[in-house]
Each structure stands twice: as structure tokens, then as C-alpha cells.
Amino acid sequence: MKRILQRILFASITLWLVSLVVFFSAESLPGDAANVLIPREQQTPENVERLRHELGLDKPAVNRYVTWLRNGLTGDWGRSYASREPVTKELGARLRNSMLLASVSIIVGIPLAIGLGIASALTRDRAPDLVISALALIGMSVPDFVLGSLSIYFFAIHLGWLPAITTVAFDAPITELIPSIWLPVLTLVIGMIAYVMRLVRTNLINVLEGDFVQSATLRGLSRRRIVLLHACPSALMPAIHIIALTIAGLSAGVVIVEAVFNYPGLGTLLIASVSARDLPVVQAIVLIAALLYVSMSLLADIGSTFLNPRLRNVQ
């Protein structure tokens, strides 16, 4: 319990530090929203100063940070500088779209990665292992935007099976988004499964070479029983943390993939908001990504603590 409380405290401090970095990094960007939002022909000093006052940009940065953080803790992330709508409203449908993309990628990718890792370990140094390992190496080496571009060329342009980009509105029903998610999902899954698959393969090979597997074999247990009931659970336990961090890392991959496929999620909104110096939206999106990453890491730590008796008994 003490270990878990320490992790929760550490996660809280990490999020607070992230909020500092996010806010003041956004503040350090050249120019501000007033210069971007006002048309060039109307950018008189008076108009710029009037808009800066309306947006609260004429107040000291420290005061604005304290107000932003205090309101954010209650769920009020302010208003978008560009649309003047509440930030929560701006994020609503786009957050749903990004969660849909990430969820499908996780549901497809994690079981596939574990299955390929097990298959690769059980066929060590044979043809299936060599093919799977080569594909994993490619997945680890090729950037997401290159994978996305290649998938567009092959599946959308060459074969014509799937749409190259998303053309529906960000607030369209999920049923209209479904045809557009498969190429982004494929791109995310290829990059995601490589690390998990390699780790599962390495862990399972080490477990299969362990003494307890040899003892189980001598006792007459079948190979299938040993692998499924003994080796696989032991091999997957150390991989829990990496799987959780891989899922959390989707927040970075989603931004790139959404931009490649024009997918109406948080990634495309983040890029547009940075260009418009729409700081409340930028800060909220980055903080959401940080919250997801820290939360998944915390859940992985807690899960590892409960599954590992040595950690569970640490006072």
C-alpha cells in the first residue's frame, strides 16, 4: 500500500510539473493569439491591445497560470481564443474520435502482438520466427508518417479498398467514421506491436529455458500445458508495464497519424490550434495526453505490485 501511495503522489507531482511546462512553453511561442486572429489589414496597435485585453493576455503569465490551473481542476479549461467556445466543447467530439481510433488499435494490436510474440518464441530460429522478427524490426524502424503514406499508396490508391483520407465532419456519427479508421488503425498497430512482440518473445524464450519448465517436462506434463498454463503467464507479467506504456504512447502516434489521414481527432485539432496560437486548446490537449500517459504508467505500476508478491510485501 505504501508503494502504491508513493506512486500516486509521484504521478500527481508529475502532472503538476507537466502543467507548468505546457503553460509556459505555450507562452514562449513567438507572437500571440491577438496577432494571429486579427486580419493583417486590421492589425492596428489599438485593435491588438483591445483583443489582448479581451482574452486576458495583458495579465502577468503567473497570474494566468494560477487561474488556469485552479479552473482546470474543476473542469473549466477556459474558452478557445479562435472560436470563443468553451474548450471542453471544442474537445468533445474530437476526443471521442481519437478514443475510437486508439481503442480499436489497442483491441487489434495488443492481442496480435502477444500472439506473434508467442509464435515467434515457439518457432525460435525457424522460418516463422525469422519472418515475424524481420517484420517487427521494420515496424520499429519506419516512422509512422512513412507507414501511413505507404498504406495510403497501397490500400487506397493501388488497390482502392479504403479511403485515403477522412472527409466526414468531426461531429459526424461514429458509423460514418468507421470506414475511415482502418488505414490509421493499421498504421498505429504496425508501429505498436513491434515492441510488445519482441519483449514477449524474449521473455518467453527465457522462461522456456528455465529450470521449472525442465522439471515440468520431466514430470510428464504436455508441452501445450506447460506453455499455456505456466510459461506464458510468467512471460507476460514483466511485459505488463511495457504494454501499458505502449498504449499510453499512442497519444503521440495518434497526432502524426491523424495529420497524415486528415482524421478529425485531437491530433489535427492540436496542429490547427498551435498555428492559431489558440493556447487554451493546446494546453488542454497536451495535458490530456500527459494525463493518459501518467495514468497508464500508474496502473501498470499498481498491476505489477499486485501480481508480484515481492513488491506487494514491500512496506
Task: Check residue 315 and give its pLDDT.
Answer: 45
156 within domain boundaries? yes
Contact 94, 265 (CB under 8 A): yes
Nearest-5° Cα angle at 199, 103 to 239: 60
111 within domain boundaries? yes
pLDDT at 311 over 60: no
**242-297: per-residue pLDDT in tens?**
787 777 777 667 878 888 888 888 888 888 888 777 888 888 888 888 888 888 77
- Identify which has the larger pLDDT, 1 or 132: 132
**150-174: per-residue pLDDT in tens?**
888 888 888 888 888 887 888 888 8
Mean per-residue pLDDT over the chain, rounded: 80
Mean pLDDT of all residues in 57-63: 79
pLDDT at 33 over 70: no
- How would residue 37 be classed by pLDDT, with cut points 50, 70 and 90? low
Task: Check residue 132 and give its pLDDT.
Answer: 87
305 within domain boundaries? no
- How would residue 314 be classed by pLDDT, with cut points 50, 70 and 90? very low
Task: Check residue 310 and give its pLDDT.
Answer: 52
311 within domain boundaries? no
159 within domain boundaries? yes
Greatest mean pLDDT among 7-16, 108-117, 141-150, 247-256 lies in: 108-117
232 within domain boundaries? yes
Task: Check residue 30 and give its pLDDT.
Answer: 67
CATH number at residue 153: 1.10.3720.10
Quote the domain boundaries for residue 204. 91-279
pLDDT at 1 over 70: no
Structural domains counted in the chain = 1
Mean pLDDT of all residues in 189-199: 84
Q: Going along 136-225, which residue ranges are E strands?
A: none
Nearest-5° Cα angle at 145, 291 to 121: 80
Task: Check residue 67 and give its pLDDT.
Answer: 84
Cα–Cα distance measured from residue 56 to residue 50, given in angstroms and rounded to the nearest whole number = 10
163 within domain boundaries? yes
Cα–Cα distance measured from residue 94 to residue 76, given in angstroms and rounded to the nearest whole number = 17
| CB count in 10 Å sphere of residue 187 | 26
284 within domain boundaries? no
